[in-house]
Structure 1
Amino acid sequence: MQYDVLVIGGGVGGGSVALNLASRGFKVAIVEERDWGGTTINRGSTPKRALLASAETHFRMTQLVKDVAPLSWSEMASHSAKVVLAANQRYGNNLVNAGITTIEGHATFVNSNTILVHGQRYQAKTIVLATGARPRKLEFPGSQYMEHSASFLKASNLPDKITIVGAGIIAFALASIATEAGTKVTIVQHNRMALRIFDQGLVQTLISRLENAGVVFKFDNTIQNITELSSGSYQVTTNQDQFETKAIYCVAGRVPNTEDLNLSVAGVKFGPLGIKVDERLKTSNPQIFALGDCCDAPVPKLSNYAIYQGKYLGNNLQKPVQFPIKYPTPALTVFSIPKLGQVGISTQKAADKPELEVKTMDIKNWQTYARNGDDLAKLKIIFNKGNQQIVGAEVLSQDADQLVDYLSLLIQQHVSADDLQQQLFAYPSQASDLYGIWQSR
């Protein structure tokens, strides 16, 4: 069967490019071997945010009133499952309604323009690889007892004592959700670094908040073995400690899905970081492109980047001249309690730029944060000393995700203090609080 474009991978990145091309009249087919919507919708951001919604609501209530009823994990899980199912169905329907051919199964290359799925051959002049990534496996005695974040996010019941291996974005989100649900959490990290790309002062404040909530951090601990006990619990032995837990979730990174595709027959080169692409997301085969977690583009492996790359390819494929991808102001958030957000230039990078100034602001008394009892709210804003434009920020607060999105617009549009004063926002709101960024200087 012949198509204009074949997309391998039915996640949010693959769907982004497929829907964009279909809207432009291209004949498109998309292949998915597991769940439509990929990791993001089924085993990642969507269930994580659904569970976090319950946990955040509970946390906010405890900040404002006494004697808040405990959370029910079964009710949280039921709500999350409904959200995921609806998102999955909506995603699949969007593909079908756009006239895209959906193919279920594992794809392998036959040659540079032909793939094989369940014995059926499909051809296209252009192929886009969006196969995503999978959890990294750690190997040591008893490592088979470890589960991954997907198991946590889909659990109908959560043990009262769990261990999380890793100290990155996913670890802090899972720890926050579980702690608010009444579970005792231990985080094991092989070195002393947590959330390494974020402002370490804000990270330490977040760690202290979680420690006060009962989370135990074991830094500089490398797991040596895990033993299953007769009680059904597990004994974890590290290079420094030994303790019992009832479940272990490994979130120590992900590896790109590049094996079993037979990429070599298509002339596609790949390495440990994924499929090799240039600044146009083109692989070593000029008719094959790659995006998202499966490629080695030098950007964070996050859903928003995969979606943006999909839009870029959808707008540029088949054009006689393809311009290099240009990423907008980066914005990302750790969905912990409270959240940790970053936009534009980080405080770490700003420290090496004499033309920039970092201003730390205690914003807990700003209206948005005061009325929500957000007593840890803090903002670090990076200004250009010359024109006073904002070029970056890092924030710790319950609403950090919203604030970094507002700031992203200001940075992207090069808004100055005078420009902002010409805007009229609803009051009181988080947007109207933005006036305080300059008034506090």
Structure 2
Amino acid sequence: MKTHFDTIVIGGGPGGLAAAYRLAEQQSVLVVENDLWGGTCPNRGCDPKKMLYSAVEAIDHQHTLQSSGLVGTSYINWPQLMAFKRQYTTQIPDGTLNGLQSAGIRTVTGTAHFIADHHLRVGETDYTADHFIIATGQTPTLPAIEGRDLLQTSNQFLDLDHLPAKIAFIGAGYIAIELANIAATAGAEVHIIQHNKRILRDFPEAMTTELITSLQNKGVQFHFETTVTKVYETTKGLVLNNAGGFTLTVDAAFAALGRHANIDELNLPAADIATGHHGIQVDEHLVSSNPRVYAIGDVVDRPQPKLTPVAGFEGRYVANQLLQTNSDPIAYPLIPHTVYASPQISQAGVSVQTAQENPDQYRLNQQTTTNWYTFNRIKEPNAIVTTIFDRQTNQLVGAAAYTTIAEELINYLTPLIKNHTTAAELTDTIYNYPSPASDLKYYY
């Protein structure tokens, strides 16, 4: 059995797969995965989450049109919605594995750990390679409190057979907000417990404040400046409390405090691989402190958003480094990102906060677009779009949107930022009318 490879990829998710397929065109490649082939995103992350969100979008749209000609509303049948999700996710692991094997890529299922700088052990078998790519992603973080083992995570929420009647989420980031919105729309009583007064700290505060109100109108209850220090079980359910007098009894509680690098079992010290607070430390070529070892995706300690397309971008970049078709330091493109709530919040480029902190450099154009035709047609209750311009060049450099079509808008605005598109060029471009794209010139 072959045990030496040109490159061994640890992690069979989007980043590792992108690297493996590119490398396999010219190298011998082994991919090691100890959980679900395909990684977090398609199995228990962004893909299944958005499938559940599809029902939320439909119901939200129905509610907004109730006084505008649409009569009657639907409701979410949770078991049927979960069956819809599972018909997709159950195909992912085998489909991923079959795809790799069909491409001539060797695969091993098991937990990998280093025993030397070029030496990896999986189960009872030792493997060596000229280079390694660590793409093990992240895993949910549980708080260090009494009763933490009673808490569930997004992994369990996205595969619930039945939706609990009363739910709490500890945390107010992406995961908490998106899953709380799904649960509330599906009929659960939902509580969000946050240690301070902010949600989604990376997004414009004016928009996140509006989102809090929108979620409250759905029945979501926020408990700000509250820290849970103990969880215990009673005959009435799970009790969450603290020494300050906070007590909440729920049917299920989910930790949504972010995720941390999935590196605990890799034995990185044996390979002289340095780590930071947020994962593996790398240089501008994504090389770790061990020159044989690269790291990509969510396992990397870097400022870029932890998103699936970013992992894939890094996987392709490292593959090209190893194949010597690119020797330049990594240069990230614009990275749009969206919170899939009701409504959505999206942003790309220079952030609103950065622009506000540097008024001599940037000009903000914030518009309430609720009454524009595009938004009035879908009875958008409150739409806000902010565009950011460089004062010296007058070029569009950033954008943020708070609307049910924010994802679509930011995908239109991102290439305008990237390509330095001017207002005159937009005026001379014909889009389908009327559509969100035909409005683009009005954001300048």
TM interval, short-chain normalised = over 0.9
Q: Structure 1 residues 281, 237: closer, same or farther in 2, change over 3 A? A: same
Residue matched to 2:413 = 407
Match of 1:223 among 228, 233, 253: 228
CA offset digits 1:276-331 (Å, max 9, x no partner): 11111000111110011212123222222211111211222231862111011121
Counterparts of 2:185 and 2:264 in 1: how far apart (Å)?
A: 39
Counterparts of 2:364 and 2:344 in 1: how far apart (Å)?
A: 20
**How much does 1:59 deviate?**
1.3
Q: How many residues align?
A: 436
Q: Structure 1 residues 57, 230: closer, same or farther in 2, change over 3 A? A: same
**How much does 1:36 deviate?**
0.7
Q: Does 1:360 align with 2:366?
A: yes
**How much does 1:120 deviate?**
1.5
Counterparts of 1:320 and 1:61 in 2: how far apart (Å)?
A: 51
Match of 1:237 among 227, 234, 241: 241
Are the aligned partners of 1:41 and 1:88 in contact in 2 as well (CA < 8 Å)? no
Given residue 342 of structure 2, which amino acid in structure 1 is its aligned partner?
I
**How much does 1:92 deviate?**
2.9
Residue matched to 1:425 = 431
Counterparts of 2:212 and 2:319 in 1: how far apart (Å)?
A: 41
Q: Structure 1 residues 366, 21: closer, same or farther in 2, change over 3 A? A: farther
Residue matched to 1:394 = 400
Which range moved further: 144-153 or 421-430?
A: 421-430
Match of 2:8 among 6, 9, 13: 6
TM-score by length of 2: 0.95
Counterparts of 2:149 and 2:36 in 1: how far apart (Å)?
A: 24
Q: Structure 1 residues 321, 427: closer, same or farther in 2, change over 3 A? A: closer
List 4+ stretches of structure 1 deviating above 4 A: none
Match of 2:19 among 17, 20, 25: 17
Residue matched to 1:260 = 265
SS in 1 for 2:158: helix
Equivalent residues in 2 for 1:58-137, closer than 5 Å: 58-64=59-65, 65-137=70-142
Residue matched to 1:371 = 377
Identity %: 34
SS in 1 for 2:357: coil
Counterparts of 2:49 and 2:74 in 1: how far apart (Å)?
A: 22
Are the aligned partners of 1:388 and 1:417 in contact in 2 as well (CA < 8 Å)? no
Residue matched to 1:339 = 344
**How much does 1:142 deviate?**
2.1
Are the aligned partners of 2:197 and 2:224 in contact in 1 as well (CA < 8 Å)? yes
Counterparts of 2:265 and 2:97 in 1: how far apart (Å)?
A: 25
Given residue 419 of structure 2, which amino acid in structure 1 is its aligned partner?
Q
Are the aligned partners of 1:389 and 1:417 in contact in 2 as well (CA < 8 Å)? no
SS in 2 for 1:341: strand
SS in 1 for 2:229: strand
Given residue 412 of structure 1, which amino acid in structure 2 is its aligned partner?
K
Are the aligned partners of 1:128 and 1:290 in contact in 2 as well (CA < 8 Å)? yes
CA offset digits 1:394-439 (Å, max 9, x no partner): 111111111111111111111111122222212222211212213x
Counterparts of 1:83 and 1:337 in 2: how far apart (Å)?
A: 24
List alignment gaps of at least 5 residues for structure 2.
Answer: none
**How much does 1:270 deviate?**
1.6
Residue matched to 1:36 = 37
SS in 2 for 1:194: coil
CA offset digits 1:203-234 (Å, max 9, x no partner): 00000000011000001001122221213x12
Counterparts of 1:92 and 1:117 in 2: how far apart (Å)?
A: 17
Which range moved further: 206-215 or 118-127?
A: 118-127
Equivalent residues in 2 for 1:100-249, closer than 5 Å: 100-231=105-236, 233-238=237-242, 239-249=244-254
**How much does 1:100 deviate?**
1.3
Residue matched to 2:292 = 287
Given residue 9 of structure 1, which amino acid in structure 2 is its aligned partner?
G
Q: Structure 1 residues 394, 240: closer, same or farther in 2, change over 3 A? A: farther
Residue matched to 1:251 = 256
SS in 2 for 1:158: coil
SS in 2 for 1:151: helix
Which range moved further: 151-160 or 365-374?
A: 365-374
TM-score by length of 1: 0.95
Counterparts of 1:222 and 1:327 in 2: how far apart (Å)?
A: 36
Q: Structure 1 residues 295, 223: closer, same or farther in 2, change over 3 A? A: same
SS in 1 for 2:353: helix
SS in 1 for 2:96: helix
Which range moved further: 70-79 or 420-429?
A: 420-429
Given residue 321 of structure 2, which amino acid in structure 1 is its aligned partner?
N
SS in 1 for 2:18: helix
**How much does 1:173 deviate?**
0.4
Residue matched to 2:47 = 46
Q: Structure 1 residues 339, 320: closer, same or farther in 2, change over 3 A? A: closer
Given residue 284 of structure 2, which amino acid in structure 1 is its aligned partner?
E
Given residue 169 of structure 2, which amino acid in structure 1 is its aligned partner?
I
Q: Structure 1 residues 240, 330: closer, same or farther in 2, change over 3 A? A: farther
Given residue 44 of structure 1, which amino acid in structure 2 is its aligned partner?
G
Are the aligned partners of 2:23 and 2:323 in contact in 1 as well (CA < 8 Å)? no
Counterparts of 2:145 and 2:270 in 1: how far apart (Å)?
A: 35
CA offset digits 1:134-188 (Å, max 9, x no partner): 1112122222211001110010111111000000011110011111101111000
Counterparts of 1:36 and 1:351 in 2: how far apart (Å)?
A: 43
RMSD, matched Cα: 1.5
Match of 2:313 among 286, 308, 312: 308
